[in-house]
């Protein structure tokens, strides 16, 4: 409610001032530019990958992850299996209170289909330092096609608050030459 009422009760029939039209045009053009930038960045920005998701039970996903670990485990690190699957294969990573399991060892410049699912709550998958962010839900298999292009150690961080041990939910992905 204004302090004083407008002189005309039907204000929407009044002509629009030239400066207001200019600002409306600027705001509209800016909105179009930002929308185009979002589409361009999704396609060319190589930041957040396009993904697929499928319904799956936590038990079925855990079976697939355990089968991968049994087949491709190369060593153990701090009680976690380190898995080195062949290039082009499906790799599985489980999110559960408060860990990412297993540790993955991938080859540089090779493509993998990374499957992510939660056994309990919603978690956030954040791959650092490349800044890939995804939401990981129970009963869903999130699939991302991933081609690591730099060797090194990458941290997997849960960026969705999942309880009292959330700050300890850190996993690893190694990329080798």
Residues 86 and 18 in one domain: no
Question: Mean per-residue pLDDT for 74-81?
Answer: 94
User: Tokens 């499928």 label which residue?
Assistant: 54
Residue 1 has pLDDT above 60, yes or no: no
Looking at the structure, tell me whether residues 36 and 70 fall in a common domain.
no
Structure tokens at 118: 């939660």
Are 37 and 58 found together in one domain?
no
Q: Please tell me whether the peptide bond between 102 and the residue prior to it is cis, using omega within 30 degrees of 0.
A: yes
Kindly state whether residues 144 and 74 are assigned to the same domain.
yes
Do residues 69 and 121 share a domain? yes
> pLDDT > 90: what percent of the chain?
71
Summarize the confidence of residues 143-172 as an average pLDDT. Answer: 92
> Does some domain include residue 117?
yes
Total number of domains constituting the chain:
2
86 and 169 share a domain? yes
Q: What does the pLDDT look like over 89-122, one tens digit per residue?
A: 999 999 998 999 999 999 999 999 999 999 999 9
User: Is residue 87 situated within a structural domain?
Assistant: yes
Residue 2 domain-assigned? Answer: no
Range of the domain at 21: 11-44
**DSSP-assigned letters across all residues of 37-67:** HHHHHHHHS-SSPPEEEEE--HHHHHHHHHH
Please indicate, yes or no, whether residues 167 and 103 belong to a single structural domain of this protein. Answer: yes
Residues 115 and 31 reside in one and the same domain: no
Average pLDDT over residues 137-163: 93
Distance CA 162, CA 123 (A): 6
Residue 141 belongs to a domain with what CATH number? 2.60.40.420
**Do residues 99 and 124 share a domain?**
yes
Looking at the fold, whether 39 and 65 belong to one and the same domain comes out as: no
Domain identity same for 72 and 89: yes
Query: Same domain for 132 and 157?
Result: yes
């Amino acid at each position: 409610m204004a302090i004083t009422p407008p002189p005309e009760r039907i204000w929407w029939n009044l002509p629009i001032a030239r400066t207001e039209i200019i600002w409306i045009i600027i705001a509209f053009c800016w909105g179009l530019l930002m929308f185009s930038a979002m589409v361009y960045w999704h396609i060319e920005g190589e930041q957040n990958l396009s993904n697929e998701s499928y319904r799956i039970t936590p038990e079925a996903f855990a079976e697939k992850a355990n089968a991968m670990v049994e087949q491709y485990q190369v060593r153990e690190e701090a009680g976690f299996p380190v898995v080195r699957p062949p290039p082009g294969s499906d790799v599985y990573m489980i999110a559960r209170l408060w860990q990412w399991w297993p540790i993955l060892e991938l080859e540089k410049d090779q493509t993998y289909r990374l499957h992510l699912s939660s056994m309990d709550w919603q978690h956030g998958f954040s791959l650092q330092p490349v800044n890939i962010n995804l939401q990981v839900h129970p009963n869903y298999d999130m699939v991302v096609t991933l081609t690591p292009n730099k060797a090194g150690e990458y941290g997997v961080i849960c960026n969705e608050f999942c309880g009292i041990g959330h700050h300890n939910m850190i996993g690893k992905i190694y990329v080798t030459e």
